Amino acid sequence: DAGITQSPRHKVTETGTPVTLRCHQTENHRYMYWYRQDPGHGLRLIHYSYGVKDTDKGEVSDGYSVSRSKTEDFLLTLESATSSQTSVYFCAISVASMYEQYFGPGTRLTVT
């Protein structure tokens, strides 16, 4: 157990509203990631962070922003949610020098 929690676990929101998802870790890992998972697409990286205030884009970053003001928290924001952002969102951390990633339980987001 890598001590990763995500909140909320489920959310339904309307098109055009802002949404923030939170990932919290308890073990001070440097690397954190946000993925989305959709049927037929596997896992796609949205954004990742390699330290406090250090973030970079992944392959599907359009429409998403992130922030990391503390080591333990990595926030994903949908500035104006669209139906195409309906998905399951996973947060992950990477253990230094080990390269594998450990995942949180996921957030199911529905945009109506």
Binding residues for another protein, rule: CB under 8 A, are 31, 40-45, 48, 50, 90, 92, 94, 98-106
Q: How far is the CB of 21 from another protein (least distance, A)?
A: 14
Residue in the structure block whose two tokens are 């945009």: 111
Q: How far is the CB of 94 from another protein (least distance, A)?
A: 5
Whose CA is closest to 21, among 47, 60, 52?
Answer: 47
Q: Which residues contact 39 (CB under 8 A, 6 or more apart)?
A: none
CB nearer another protein, residue 16 or residue 45: 45
CB nearer another protein, residue 17 or residue 110: 110
Q: How far is the CB of 72 from another protein (least distance, A)?
A: 18
- How far, in Å, CA of 52 to CA of 29, rounded? 11
Q: How far is the CB of 33 from another protein (least distance, A)?
A: 8
CB nearer another protein, residue 33 or residue 64: 33
What helix, strand, coil percent values describe the chain, rounded to 5? 5, 60, 40
CB nearer another protein, residue 87 or residue 101: 101
- How far, in Å, CA of 105 to CA of 56, rounded? 23
